[in-house]
Structure 1
Amino acid sequence: MQMKTIAVIASCDTKLKELTYIKKFIENAGHRVLVIDISIGIEEPQGFDIPREDVIAASGHHWENVKNLSKGELMELAVSGITKLIPELYAQGKFDAVFSMGGVQNTSVAVSGMKQLPIGVPKVMLSTVASGNRTFEPLVGTRDIVLIPSIADLAGVNTITRTVMENAASCVIGMVNNAGKPLGNSDGVVVGTTLMGITNDGVCSAINHLTSKGIETIGFHSTGVGGRAMEELAAGGTINAVMDLTIHEITSEYFGGGFSYGAPDRLTMLCRLGIPLLVSPGGLDFVDYPLDNMPKDIDKRKYIRHNAQLAHIKILKHEGIDVAKITAERLNQSKSEVTLLIPTNGFRKNTRPGEPLYDKEVDDAIIETLIENIYNDNVIVKYVDANLNEESFGIAAANEMIEILKRFGKLDANFDI
């Protein structure tokens, strides 16, 4: 087994006992430990390799000049500093994985640094706030951070904390022993696509068709983070072509909330990248809200219960026009060819004639508004006489993606569809 270095981000004043225990545990497993101090209290920290002064310096300040600021202000500086320092240390080969433990302060600062690391680099956070009435977004963002609830407060080494600390440390040790390779860029074509349960059949047909042709295709769940993650990976080059078939997050952005909210300015980055891109209005016609937080005018709307907690609500005609205008505006920013593939018989499951979310007036308004507001000659509009969630649409989308890849020189001109 090759010895690796695991960075441990910790407050080396208040968490010294726990830090000492974890460090010894990791070293006994055959790995080195690089301790990064993020303490901001008045107690003198101990046991660190990289002092808090370096963390604060990375934020552009000197510790002596700011040490008397409020806790909140110092936390902001620590977050700013760790965000810059962690990727720099990793790029310098100083560590292979990162681990942290603590409460709100330690968690907030540590995960800010972890989010800057590539997918695949082991990242484990043992936290007192990885449970309860909280969401994952502030803690993981679009990165593969493993969160482990500490159960008890991390205030000393005892029967409970010893158990959870050993489990959490063993998690990161196992990752560096058996995996832990950062995600890289492929030499071949890697297509990113978006889907939800309500577009699954159509999109999976597209994925299966491309995969059968030897084209790697990766699906992202477009419920507030998937589309954003796909765009980040496209910008970084891991994904070099996109078949964006479910742009539902744009609708959630328009409403300013809902289950799938969280991907601001969706689609804009993709259009500006100039990579092979196919877009379809999957899920553009509905918004998803918890059953206990429905719109006030729900009696005027068509909706269905998606599950025990969530409702899928058909948007109204004027809302569809607004969302279509936003989508067209973003498509108009395309730097190179983009294909807009429009299904003429619904943008998701349950929207065919006779089904509960069928509303031809809304769907037609979306299509007409898209066409009327697209003025960039780079945008090519095509139609498929199908519902987006049907196999026939998925096959058509996949074949169109292949033709786009040919035109971009990503596939040989004689590549068989």
Structure 2
Amino acid sequence: MTAKQIIVAGILDTKGDEIKFLAERVKAAGGKPSVLEISVGHEVGWADISLSDVVARVGKKKEDIFALDRNSASDLIAQGAIKLIKEMREAGQVDGIIAYGGSMGASIATRIMQSLPIGFPKVMLTTMASGDVSPYVGTRDICMIYPIAEAGLNKVTRPILNNAAAAVVGMASPPDMEGIEEKPLIGCMMFGVTTPCVLRASSIVEKAGYDVMINHAVGSGGRSMEELIRDGYITGILDITTHEIADEMLGGVLSAGPDRMTAAGEMGIPQVIAPGGLDLINFGPKSTVPATLLKETDQPGRGLYEHNPTVTCVGVSMDEIYEIGEHMARKLNAAKGPSIMCVPMRGWGACDLATPDIELGWAGPGAGPVWAADENNPQWSKRSMRYVQALKATIDPDKDNLEVILVDKHMNDPECADFLAELLLEMLKGKWTKGNRADHPFVIPF
């Protein structure tokens, strides 16, 4: 078997010995290493792929790089390396990448890794792996390994580098997945409070002949889903857990950024959307919840819920949900493909229940912590009613590809999950038309 070609990247003027050792271990594991220099101080002269080769891809010389501040230099080095490795991939000259470094090395190397496709082996050894790795991982399948020490070869670090080298060579030599049928892929978003609905709906879609990818709606999950849609992986989406939008607009910690809920509309794929979990703003420990919100938790629907020691939720207010409804409606108005906003009127998650129901996610005692009944229709959520008002004021009623459907169910009711799945399947089969579910027993006129 031909040896797999592995890029071994690092800042060689400060970690040259470690990178040499890592390359040796890649070779010992059966790979063919090529050392890539991403140094920002000076060029060492012994790399297989020199810094000069890298920065030439962006029209620069090494002297140009060394005259810059380190931030600007690292940006150009990353840009050049991305172009160079793209050329190598297209020529069949690279099968995986591994890097070792501190914060600067990790910053440059993981930018390169983020440019590579899903499934391409990517291993990053860095002491930064013990903290917040989101800037390094982004939305790609990067394996982060904490190497204990930032530098030095000894009885602690050598086994770690040896293991990592074996890992990347092994990742570049996976067994064939024979007999596994690739089916059209449906995207789905889930959070703990919407789990009963998502698992039931996704099971129905799977039984209809599709694969389902369930992303965790914690910010990175939403960003990954948007990217997967744009990259063409996703055929349709059950976007029925959308609270990342509330966190983006209201200062929560699980924001997926301003582009959440845009890719499906731009790409024209079928989308069924629901405000699952949109009753909550998410924070870390209770001590991190803004004092202004803590003072309001006695207001209807604004309740506080400590999910665990590291996650605390606060209810979305009625004014806030109106603004969110307007925001989401504008995104839907721009959608090119078949799109349905389905609003469960009896609550949007496990914390948004009028009475305890363990099957729907809330054991009690009493109502869910963010439940607030509508004054005129107490069986319905006040938040749902306010959200619907925003949709009515903003949704374009003349778009034949866009419909708002109100259902007299809770988000986690089995009937609601079934209905959401059925709507998407109708779209995927080309059988959906606006208004064709108006006579359904629990559909409420919009």
Shift of 1:308: 1.2
1:355 aligned partner: 368
Amino acid at match of 1:281: P
Shift of 1:146: 0.6
For residues 307-361 of structure 1, give each alpha carbon's deviation from its aligned partner in whole angstroms, at most 9, with x where no partner exists.
Answer: 1121111111111111111111111111122111111111111212132211232
- Pairs within 5 Å for 1:246-285: 246-255=241-250, 257-285=251-279
1:107 aligned partner: 106
- Pairs within 5 Å for 1:123-272: 123-131=122-130, 134-154=131-151, 156-178=152-174, 188-255=183-250, 257-272=251-266
- SS of the aligned residue for 1:135 comes to coil
Shift of 1:274: 0.6
Amino acid at match of 1:48: A
Task: Give the stretch that moved more between structures: 51-60 or 14-23.
Answer: 51-60
For residues 63-111 of structure 1, give each alpha carbon's deviation from its aligned partner in whole angstroms, at most 9, with x where no partner exists.
Answer: 2333222223211222232333333322322211110001111110000
- SS of the aligned residue for 2:223 comes to helix
Tell me whether 1:93 sits opposite 2:92 in the alignment.
Answer: yes
Shift of 1:122: 0.9
Runs of 5+ unmatched residues, structure 1:
410-417
Structure 1 distance, partners of 2:248, 2:106, is 28
Q: Is the 8 A contact 2:97 2:122 kept in 1?
A: yes
Q: Is the 8 A contact 2:343 2:405 kept in 1?
A: yes
- Pairs within 5 Å for 1:290-309: 290=284, 291-297=286-292, 298-301=294-297, 302-309=303-310
1:6 aligned partner: 6
Structure 1 distance, partners of 2:145, 2:134, is 15
Structure 1 distance, partners of 2:19, 2:281, is 46
Structure 2 distance, partners of 1:80, 1:192, is 31
Q: Is the 8 A contact 2:147 2:160 kept in 1?
A: yes
Q: Which runs of 4+ in 1 moved over 4 A?
A: none
Q: Is the 8 A contact 1:90 1:96 kept in 2?
A: yes
Q: Is the 8 A contact 1:202 1:392 kept in 2?
A: no
Structure 1 distance, partners of 2:232, 2:53, is 31
Q: 1:355–1:71: structure 2 CA closer, same or farther, 3 Å change rule? A: closer
Shift of 1:180: 9.6
Shift of 1:57: 2.5
Structure 1 distance, partners of 2:273, 2:256, is 20
Shift of 1:140: 0.2
1:368 aligned partner: 389
2:339 aligned partner: 338
Q: Is the 8 A contact 1:107 1:127 kept in 2?
A: yes
Q: Is the 8 A contact 1:55 1:81 kept in 2?
A: yes
Amino acid at match of 2:58: S
2:375 aligned partner: none
Q: Is the 8 A contact 2:9 2:19 kept in 1?
A: no
1:84 aligned partner: 83
Task: Give the stretch that moved more between structures: 61-70 or 224-233.
Answer: 61-70
- SS of the aligned residue for 2:12 comes to coil
What is the RMSD of the two structures over their aligned residues, measured on CA atoms?
Answer: 1.9
1:412 aligned partner: none
1:415 aligned partner: none
How many residues are aligned here? 400
Q: Is the 8 A contact 2:245 2:256 kept in 1?
A: no
Shift of 1:374: 0.4
- SS of the aligned residue for 1:130 comes to helix
Amino acid at match of 1:331: L
Shift of 1:216: 1.2
Q: Is the 8 A contact 1:250 1:265 kept in 2?
A: no
- SS of the aligned residue for 1:241 comes to strand
Structure 2 distance, partners of 1:220, 1:292, is 28
Q: Is the 8 A contact 1:16 1:47 kept in 2?
A: no
Structure 2 distance, partners of 1:285, 1:86, is 45
- SS of the aligned residue for 1:61 comes to coil
- SS of the aligned residue for 1:14 comes to helix
Task: Give the stretch that moved more between structures: 77-86 or 138-147.
Answer: 77-86
- SS of the aligned residue for 1:199 comes to helix
Q: Is the 8 A contact 1:97 1:180 kept in 2?
A: no
- SS of the aligned residue for 2:334 comes to coil
Amino acid at match of 2:275: P
Amino acid at match of 2:15: K
Structure 2 distance, partners of 1:128, 1:201, is 38
For residues 267-293 of structure 1, give each alpha carbon's deviation from its aligned partner in whole angstroms, at most 9, with x where no partner exists.
Answer: 122211111111111122210112121
- SS of the aligned residue for 1:282 comes to coil
Tell me whether 1:328 sits opposite 2:322 in the alignment.
Answer: no
Structure 1 distance, partners of 2:65, 2:5, is 31
2:440 aligned partner: none
For residues 162-207 of structure 1, give each alpha carbon's deviation from its aligned partner in whole angstroms, at most 9, with x where no partner exists.
Answer: 12111211221221233599xxxx9742110111111010011001
Structure 2 distance, partners of 1:349, 1:356, is 9
2:376 aligned partner: none
Runs of 5+ unmatched residues, structure 2:
298-302, 355-366, 373-380, 433-446
1:379 aligned partner: 402
Query: Taking every aligned residue pair, what percent have the same amino acid on both sides?
Result: 32
Shift of 1:6: 0.8
Structure 1 distance, partners of 2:81, 2:408, is 52
Structure 1 distance, partners of 2:31, 2:343, is 54
> TM-score, with normalisation over the residues of structure 2?
0.85
